[in-house]
Amino acid sequence: MKARIVTFMPIFGITLITGLSTASCTSTKAEYTDPDKAEILDDRWSETDLKKTASFLVDQVLARPWLQEYKGKHGGKAPVVLVDQIENRTEEVIDSKALTDYVQDELINSRKVRFVSDVSVRKRILDELKYQNSGAVAEASAKKTGKQTGADFILEGSIASSNHSKDGGGEKTVFYMTTMRLTNIETGEIEWTGKKEIKKAFKKSSFGL
């Protein structure tokens, strides 16, 4: 009886060859795109949503009567505004500071209002003032306390969202609402409030083989 000789190829060898073959077929292409172009890549908060929301709310707050009323009472002088960080009330990870900064930049560049530093920056300024007046800095160059400009108004807001899906998960609607309000610091009166709504609809398609 003749002995049978059986040859086995190691499984790890087959796996390695297959992996190398797959890797060699994968490529990545990247290019610069227009940052102002509106894009919907998925159902999450996007840069386009941020810009649309900030621009709309800034246009709203600057067009309302409170601004002209204030200037009329103060000889045409522009009011001083403090922008507080917009609160993220969604379950999504949203860079609300980026939205806050965009709103502040648009307001500053409008030249219709003046600004003071936000809470975090003011704390650092206060620490620096304390240091400069501690005796460690030459008196001639030390900045004095009690000379900062006080804000007339505080602008604050929040982002909320809701998701709705049809049975089967084929269709989904995402709704964002950003609200902002402007409060007179001296009187506590709300001078303006506004909101921006964004609604995006998605529909999944399936293809059979």
The answer to whether residue 185 sits within a structural domain is yes
Q: Is residue 8 part of a domain?
A: no
| Axis-axis angle for helices 96-110, 47-63 (nearest 10) | 40
pLDDT in tens, the chain (209 residues): 555 555 555 544 545 445 555 555 566 665 655 555 556 556 678 888 999 999 999 999 999 999 999 999 999 999 999 999 999 999 999 999 999 999 999 999 999 999 888 778 888 999 999 999 999 999 999 999 888 899 999 999 999 998 877 766 677 788 999 999 999 999 999 999 999 999 888 776 654 44
Does residue 105 form part of some domain?
yes
Within a domain: residue 35? no
54 occurs within a structural domain: yes
In a domain, 140, yes or no: no
CATH code where residue 151 lies: 3.40.50
Contact 106, 55 (CB under 8 A): yes
Residue 9 lies in a domain: no
What is the domain count for the chain? 1
- Report long-range pairs for 88-94 (Cβ below 8 Å, ≥24 apart): 88/158, 88/159, 89/158, 89/159, 89/160, 89/161, 90/45, 90/159, 90/160, 90/161, 90/176, 91/161, 92/44, 92/45, 92/161, 94/45, 94/159
User: Would you say the pTM of this structure is higher than 0.75?
Assistant: no
Residue-range definition of the domain harbouring residue 91: 43-133+147-203
In a domain, 20, yes or no: no
